Amino acid sequence: MTLDGIVALVTGGASGLGAATVGALVDGGARAAILDRAQSDGDGFARSFGARALFAAADVTKSADVEAAIGHTIECFGALHVAINCAGVGTAMRTLTKAGPMPLEMFAKAIEINLIGTFNVIRLAAARMAGNAPNAEGERGVIINTASIAAFDGQIGQAAYAASKAGVVGLTLPIARELASLGIRVVTIAPGTFDTPMLAMLPEPQREALAATIPFPRRLGRPEEFAALARHVIENSMLNGETIRLDGALRMAPR
């Protein structure tokens, strides 16, 4: 699927990996709907692209919000060809601490946003993509999810986060198989340690220590590198049902 003329919805698109992806898609000729929280700077970010982008305030865990965002996207841009799930939260706490067990609500929140929110967008976007006319390859749509290498190498304190991202990895192949007859591909990217707003809050010595654990290149990943892979997934029709690690050969230690 070529980028020129397609319409993409990017959740978590106002910052970090999502924002870089929006930029890469618009630069390639696509139009983009930025789905993010109402309190984000999504509206200002969308305006920076002129008529090629729009902002839709939504909570990915709420069906009505996502349906409205997709409907608004199609109303403004005429179609939906690509959905990219970048919305997510990080959670860090041991299962059992000196103060007692991890609050169940913390575990549930990670699952609700990272896993259920991703599935919510997948199911609603796929329903609209199914009505697209197929291109020359028979494609009607592409769905890209964001997992994490924590799905495979979860560290101490990452039980909730790792479980939520492992769930995203786990749903990739079965949904790709389900949607294959419709010409809709499903691929997941599992980033390693990337220079996102979350890591920007860490002291520089801690950031340098994280970068030093990456075999090569020995630095934090750049959001533009995630965006470049997302673009390639869209353009390469043979990529389907796969989870791709993007981590500089990092395998995380227990802590």
Active site residues: 161
The CA distance from 44 to 222, in Å, is 22
Q: Are 7 and 33 in contact (CB under 8 A)?
A: yes
The CA distance from 133 to 211, in Å, is 45
188 phi and psi angles, rounded to 5 deg: -120, 140
Q: Is the dihedral of CA 21, 27, 33, 34 positive or negative?
A: positive
Cis ω for the linkage preceding 217 (within 30 of 0): yes
Exposed/middle/buried for residue 28 (C-beta within 10 Å: 0-12, 13-18, 19+):
middle
- In sequence order, the 6+-apart residues with CB closer than 8 A to the CB of 167 are 111, 114, 115
Q: Are 224 and 197 in contact (CB under 8 A)?
A: no
Q: Could you tell me the two tokens for 138?
A: 């028979």
